[in-house]
Structure 1
Amino acid sequence: MEMNQYLSMFIDESREHLQALNDNMLKLEASPEDTGIVQTIFRSAHTLKGMSATMGFEDMASLTHEMENVLDLVRNHKLAMNPFIFDAIFKSLDSLDAMVEDIVAGGTGKADVSAIVAVLKSIVSGDYGNGGGAGAAAAPSAASDAELDEFQYSVLMQSLESGLQVYRVEVSVDPSCVLKAARAYMVFNVLEQNGEIVKSTPSVEDIEKEKFDTTFSVYVLSETGSDELQRQIGNISEIVAVTVEKLDADGLKRRMERPYEQAAPAEASAARKEAAPAAPAVKAETAAPKAAGGAAVASRTIRVDIERLDVLMNLFSELLIDRVRLEQLASEVRRNDLTETVEHMARVSSDLQNIVLKLRMVPVDNVFNRFPRMVRDLAKSLDKKVDLIITGAETELDRTVIDEIGDPLVHLLRNSVDQGVETVPERLAAGKPETGTVHLRAFHSGNHVFIEIEDDGKGINRDKVLETALKRGVVTPDQAKSLSDEEVYLLLFAAGFSTADKISDISGRGVGLDVVKTKIESLGGHVQVSSRLGAGTKFSVQLPLTLSIISAMLVRLGSEKYAIPLSSIVETAVVRKEQIRSVHGNKMMEFRSGIIPLLSLSALFEVPDYSEADENETEIVVIRKGDKLAALMVEEFIGQQEIVLKSLGKYLTNLFAVSGATILGDGQVALIIDTNALIK
């Protein structure tokens, strides 16, 4: 495997560990006494440190090492978490994230971490400025000659009483071994998969730096038998001796009172083997202890480069175009065997299409998982109390959409926390709980995914929005009189529009919302706003499931063919000339006890060889954008078809009401109509 492939693996796994660290730190902040969470955080930090050191990113490794020291004291009940320590570790995670992103951008991953390292060291020594108590934070003393201190002895005794087995494992590495630390790491990996390590001699840090001769010892809690532990460790290359000693209460007491003395032959067993040649480098990942009696679960996932999925999608797109062509030829030739073969090919390619599309589908959790930390930091900086409640994070979207939707959602969430949710005194004065709530929801509906951001804050002041819109000339006084509440709220998305009394570096209700709307509409989606003054605001974002292959209605206008996305079609119908009305020069028609605009596609696209002006009746397609409807006049319906979206390239940009093109079975190109652009 080439170095850049190792680097790609390192980047992916570092991001996963940093996300897990952030998530678990937020959980720990909510339950500071839960040492189980601390153990999980410690393991993630330990793995990240080992990965960084292996790849040569020393600044990352040193910072993670100092984090480990703090977490080690916490998990051993020698240090209690407080706001100062939480902030220090969160800042450390931010620095680590910045270093990883620097590596992604082709940098060296180096950073000046001296300041945050000094803060972490002061926490370990107890000498920090938040009154944490020097005594509580004192590092464990190494003065005692005993192999176990009182705390370790207490933990082991309690585990023994609860039915777990306590082992002292002594391992000898071949004196000629070149990578002693790597072999020790593999031993630790085996032990952590079978139980929980309580103490190692020398320390883990010294072993990682190869500051040991050829032997090290580990105290471990496990439900695995001693023979099985001995067998698994003995199978590691260049491990020449393994001693697994099962300890009872008396044995533990002796270990606490004096340095380790070699057990009698009857009390211990050894497994020796000839040194084997050095094995190829193996990527080991620390795992949580297995459940009692549980077998290890084999990994059922693989990592695939995004570019390969894009190539696969492009190849399938070409196959789909050829399939449509074959179906057309088979209908012309009318040979049974050819028709049957093409029909079978259509069924198989349809199944293949579903699989290819699912490969590109990614849970929105990939975007949502960064928001709890963001909301936590934002609420703290604003001196507010906010709960972020996420539902539907397992909802899947096309990767292309996932890549683009993150920033718009950040804008909307920051608006909700900054301008929506009130301060604690304001909420109490309004008779609300002091902690505000922001709901982030995702769910499927038809061929779309909806993402909602709803807060229980002060809502949007309709009169203030309208006043600002009139002042800035966004709407005229006549237009303002006829606007519904929802239409007034959508004025927030006008470029540069803001109702904030003061512009902060966070947001104003409207700052950045024009960017949000532009981005969402470029993805084929749209956004709606609903609000109740004093009760809260809800932003609803509608997005297409995929941007690659869609179902569309093919229509003909003269010699031209067009595709209209099926997801935006309400129904098709025929309208007679006498049913068409003219209102202020615009064509309108009755539809379900209402009046909707009637648009001429031949006029919009200047079709040279067709005009519906001379027709007595015209076929129409009723389209929807949110709660607004319109009808498009066409000459003929060709039928429904799965089409592949193709970009028009960098030279044909900003075309009105055209979102792309597709290649039909006869090789003709059909433009795909952007129905959102036709309804204002």
Structure 2
Amino acid sequence: MDMNQYLSMFIDESNDHLQSLNESMMGLEANPEDLSIVQVIFRSAHTLKGMAATMGFEDLASLTHQMENVLDLVRNNKLRMQDFIFDTLFKSIDALESMVEDITGGGEGKADVSAIVTSLQAIVRGEVPAAAGGAAAEVTAAAAGNATDAQVFLDEFQYSVLEQSLQEGHQVLYVDVAIRKDCQLKAVRAYMVFDLLERSGEVVKSFPSVQDIEQEKFDYGFSLYYITQKDASEIQKMILNLSEIDTVTAVALDQESLRQMGQESVAATAEAPATAPAPEAAPAASNASPAASAHGKEESKAAPARAGGAPSPSRTIRVDIERLDVLMNLFSELLIDRVRLEQLASEVQNGDLTETVEHMGRVSGDLQNIVMKLRMVPVDTVFNRFPRMVRDLAKSLDKKVDLIVTGAETELDRTVIDEIGDPLVHLLRNAVDHGVESIADRVAAGKPETGTVHLRAFHSGNHVFIEIEEDGRGIYPKKILGSAVKKGAITQEQANAMSDDEAYQLLFAPGFSTAEVISDVSGRGVGLDVVKAKISSLGGNVTIYSTPGKGTNFSVQLPLTLSIIAAMLVRLGSEKYAIPLSSIVETGIVKQSQIRTIHGNRMLEFRGSHIPLVSLSKIFSIPDYDESTEEETEIVVVRKGERLVALAVQDFIGQNEIVIKNLGKYLPDVQGISGATILGDGQVALIIDPNAFIK
């Protein structure tokens, strides 16, 4: 079997399970007694192990198997979770992530995990590392020996699932299967049985365990509990239709017989606790290959419900990002043609043509909304890795920090999502390291021991705001200015003239740091300048709000999308330009007499304050237009943060939705131009970057 065809699916599903492991482990650390979270962790580890074993990644499979052994003891109340167990499991997840990363890069997923495996095995044996000190009394060692009887023993969770299914009118069967002694590949035959059963119901528990059956560690027979809508005789007949099956016994259970078997299970497990597979006992079929697993997602939805009712079918598909990019480019061309058609229809003045073009405009508008939504991704895909990062960072700095995430469902364009992860990592590390004080300092300041970092995302107009706010020591402008003067970045005279906001902006200067001690977390002056550069390249900006002693808020403003924007088209002589509508405050007309010259700069009175007036014709050296020769000049007032600038233009053409095309490699970065677009008449209009005119 060629496994390469399943590799991309394996990588995608492995990353999903690893993310689930990280999130669930964080939840369990907050609630160590919640065994339902342990069940979720066990299921993810179990599925990951089966997929890895099927794909031939043995190191990955063996490490997850060792994790399963620890988790099995926890979920059966034979082991209490403690800090050193959490740390070992987190290290295991990190090792799994690096192996999957290696596989993604074309490697074989091999790694030396012997130290982690030894630690996991020690935990199973009940040994406590020296660092854990007096915690030994709290650890209960795993009881030796497994159940040897062929009876399938149920734990409390599995019993409740079967009981609930009976109450809901499903059939609960006890199935015993014997494979012929001359069968060459008994594990494959067992897989076929599980695969067949999974199509008509759900296997809850099997003996021997699923992993033992996969590895042919069974003696030609296995038993299982099964939930279905079919009769016992029908199931028996279906299994016997498979080749090389010797005998099949399927017995329908009622409430009484199930209760008796459940009591036997409890008694037997009290004497000799069995290391059982996952409570849902994902059968061999689900571990046979990632493809089979993906297929099973559709098949198993028809299976009877377990406790809590049937889940709704998954109605999502994975689409290659490149296909979405192609779709976007094709739609961009369609949008250009639509504008051209609208222009031609207005010139021809034909009723039928105008009506058709209007209808096409409405349809393509709906299509545009769908295409845009296809590219929108929740910021949760970026946020979900931060709780674990903050937890590890706080531990390494010996601080207590709670990360509170809100608005993770807020959607952003995929191209923005791809780029925003690293800047947010820098800002969060900065918040935990520089912002939140040490425990002693917080207590001395009358604050709770645990610092709080808020990570928020929300929509506002055509922008998404992401805020990172902490209740730490805050930023002292004088300290920043003192550090900047000391490093020669500014003079003492400049420092004296700077406002608090201008002092905050110094934090974004390359090589600037206020850390007094260089550590592996901070102090090298690398970080916030990278954040500023990256966010500016995305058409966004960063604003700092801080109260000394109370905390700091870094607010990142980002455009919703980078592909299609609403813009105001303006004319300058024979040239046309587009100004993004999201940056425009208002438009107007001013007389030459209203323009003032202050310190050599042309200024304009605007709503009670004076703002600069910038001549686009002079900046772009437009030969056939000069607004200074006219009595009145049209202006566009644009905003960046709290700052305003008026741009002088000749005429307004009107609003339009335009497709952003970059200028390519051949044109250097032109000051004040962020890209270009093709208009309906085939002309190219340059897109003005308002941020470039505001410094």
TM-score (norm 2): 0.88
Match of 1:629 among 628, 634, 644: 644
Residues 610-638 of structure 1: CA deviation (Å, up to 9, x unaligned):
11121111100000000000000011111
Correspondence for 2:61: 61
Residue 7 (structure 1) aligned with residue 7 (structure 2): yes
Correspondence for 1:269: none
Residue 227 (structure 1) aligned with residue 231 (structure 2): yes
Note the 1:392-411 alignment, pairs <5 A: 392-411=407-426
Q: In 2 relative to 1, CA 295–203 (structure 1 residues): closer, same or farther, beyond 3 Å? A: closer
Deviation at 1:294, TM superposition (A): 2.7
Match of 1:446 among 461, 468, 472: 461
Q: In 2 relative to 1, CA 254–383 (structure 1 residues): closer, same or farther, beyond 3 Å? A: closer
Q: Which amino acid counterpart does residue 495 of structure 2 have in structure 1? A: A
Deviation larger for 417-426 or 280-289: 280-289
Correspondence for 1:527: 542
Q: Which amino acid counterpart does residue 362 of structure 1 have in structure 2? A: V
Q: In 2 relative to 1, CA 310–79 (structure 1 residues): closer, same or farther, beyond 3 Å? A: same
Note the 1:78-477 alignment, pairs <5 A: 78-129=78-129, 130=132, 133=136, 136-142=139-145, 145-146=148-149, 168-172=174-178, 175=183, 179-180=188-189, 182-183=191-192, 186=195, 194=202, 196-197=204-205, 200-219=206-225, 227=231, 231=235, 234=238, 238=242, 240=245, 241-244=248-251, 246=253, 247-252=257-262, 282-283=292-293, 290-292=305-307, 294-477=309-492
Distance 1:672 1:206 in 2: 64
Q: Is contact 2:573-2:650 (8 Å) kept?
A: yes
Q: Which amino acid counterpart does residue 53 of structure 1 have in structure 2? A: A
Q: Is contact 1:226-1:245 (8 Å) kept?
A: no
Q: In 2 relative to 1, CA 490–143 (structure 1 residues): closer, same or farther, beyond 3 Å? A: closer
Residues 240-298 of structure 1: CA deviation (Å, up to 9, x unaligned):
53523523444455667899xxxxxxxxxxxxxxxxxx999733568899454733422
Q: Which amino acid counterpart does residue 385 of structure 2 have in structure 1? A: R
Residues 219-259 of structure 1: CA deviation (Å, up to 9, x unaligned):
57x6x678389749947983853523523444455667899
Q: Which amino acid counterpart does residue 242 of structure 2 have in structure 1? A: E
Correspondence for 2:276: none
Correspondence for 1:600: 615
Note the 1:532-571 alignment, pairs <5 A: 532-571=547-586
Distance 1:156 1:581 in 2: 81
Q: Which amino acid counterpart does residue 215 of structure 1 have in structure 2? A: G
Residues 186-240 of structure 1: CA deviation (Å, up to 9, x unaligned):
378679x74743xx322332112122243211357x6x67838974994798385
Q: Is contact 1:462-1:489 (8 Å) kept?
A: yes
Correspondence for 1:20: 20
Deviation larger for 234-243 or 50-59: 234-243
Deviation at 1:168, TM superposition (A): 3.8
Q: Is contact 2:428-2:468 (8 Å) kept?
A: yes
Q: Is contact 2:50-2:61 (8 Å) kept?
A: yes
Distance 1:527 1:233 in 2: 68
Residues 595-616 of structure 1: CA deviation (Å, up to 9, x unaligned):
0011011111111221112111
Distance 1:316 1:117 in 2: 52
1:282 is paired with a residue whose SS is helix
Note the 1:513-524 alignment, pairs <5 A: 513-524=528-539
Residue 38 (structure 1) aligned with residue 44 (structure 2): no
Distance 1:662 1:607 in 2: 19
Q: Which amino acid counterpart does residue 209 of structure 1 have in structure 2? A: Q
Q: In 2 relative to 1, CA 16–189 (structure 1 residues): closer, same or farther, beyond 3 Å? A: farther
2:668 is paired with a residue whose SS is coil
Q: In 2 relative to 1, CA 671–232 (structure 1 residues): closer, same or farther, beyond 3 Å? A: farther
Deviation at 1:490, TM superposition (A): 1.5
Q: Is contact 2:203-2:225 (8 Å) kept?
A: no
Q: Which amino acid counterpart does residue 145 of structure 2 have in structure 1? A: A
Distance 1:12 1:672 in 2: 38
Residues 445-489 of structure 1: CA deviation (Å, up to 9, x unaligned):
000000000000000111011112233343444443443322211
Distance 2:268 2:462 in 1: 70
Residues 356-395 of structure 1: CA deviation (Å, up to 9, x unaligned):
0000000000000000000000001111100000000000
Q: Is contact 2:173-2:225 (8 Å) kept?
A: yes
Deviation at 1:10, TM superposition (A): 0.9
Residues 50-84 of structure 1: CA deviation (Å, up to 9, x unaligned):
11111111111111111111111111111111111
Q: Is contact 1:499-1:509 (8 Å) kept?
A: no
Deviation at 1:441, TM superposition (A): 0.3
Distance 1:23 1:158 in 2: 26
Identity value in percent: 65
Correspondence for 1:580: 595
2:317 is paired with a residue whose SS is coil
Q: Is contact 1:367-1:402 (8 Å) kept?
A: yes
Q: In 2 relative to 1, CA 254–542 (structure 1 residues): closer, same or farther, beyond 3 Å? A: closer
Correspondence for 1:266: none
Distance 1:230 1:315 in 2: 53
Distance 1:420 1:229 in 2: 68
Residues 22-48 of structure 1: CA deviation (Å, up to 9, x unaligned):
000011111111111101110010111
1:366 is paired with a residue whose SS is helix
Q: Is contact 2:236-2:249 (8 Å) kept?
A: no
Distance 2:337 2:164 in 1: 67
Distance 2:213 2:203 in 1: 20
Deviation larger for 284-293 or 559-568: 284-293
Q: Is contact 2:10-2:290 (8 Å) kept?
A: no
1:436 is paired with a residue whose SS is strand
Deviation at 1:161, TM superposition (A): 8.9
Q: Which amino acid counterpart does residue 33 of structure 2 have in structure 1? A: E
Q: In 2 relative to 1, CA 134–4 (structure 1 residues): closer, same or farther, beyond 3 Å? A: farther
Q: In 2 relative to 1, CA 309–551 (structure 1 residues): closer, same or farther, beyond 3 Å? A: same
Q: Which amino acid counterpart does residue 89 of structure 2 have in structure 1? A: I
Deviation at 1:543, TM superposition (A): 0.2
Q: In 2 relative to 1, CA 116–316 (structure 1 residues): closer, same or farther, beyond 3 Å? A: same
2:475 is paired with a residue whose SS is coil
Q: Which amino acid counterpart does residue 58 of structure 1 have in structure 2? A: E
Residues 522-554 of structure 1: CA deviation (Å, up to 9, x unaligned):
000000001001000000000000000000111
Deviation at 1:511, TM superposition (A): 3.7
Q: Is contact 1:327-1:342 (8 Å) kept?
A: yes
Please report the RMSD computed on the Cα atoms of aligned residues, expressed in angstroms.
3.1
Q: Is contact 2:204-2:224 (8 Å) kept?
A: no
**Structure 1: runs of 5 or more not aligned:** 260-277
Distance 1:294 1:228 in 2: 23
Q: In 2 relative to 1, CA 625–502 (structure 1 residues): closer, same or farther, beyond 3 Å? A: same
1:660 is paired with a residue whose SS is strand
Distance 2:138 2:576 in 1: 80
Distance 1:113 1:670 in 2: 58
Q: In 2 relative to 1, CA 98–188 (structure 1 residues): closer, same or farther, beyond 3 Å? A: farther
2:6 is paired with a residue whose SS is helix
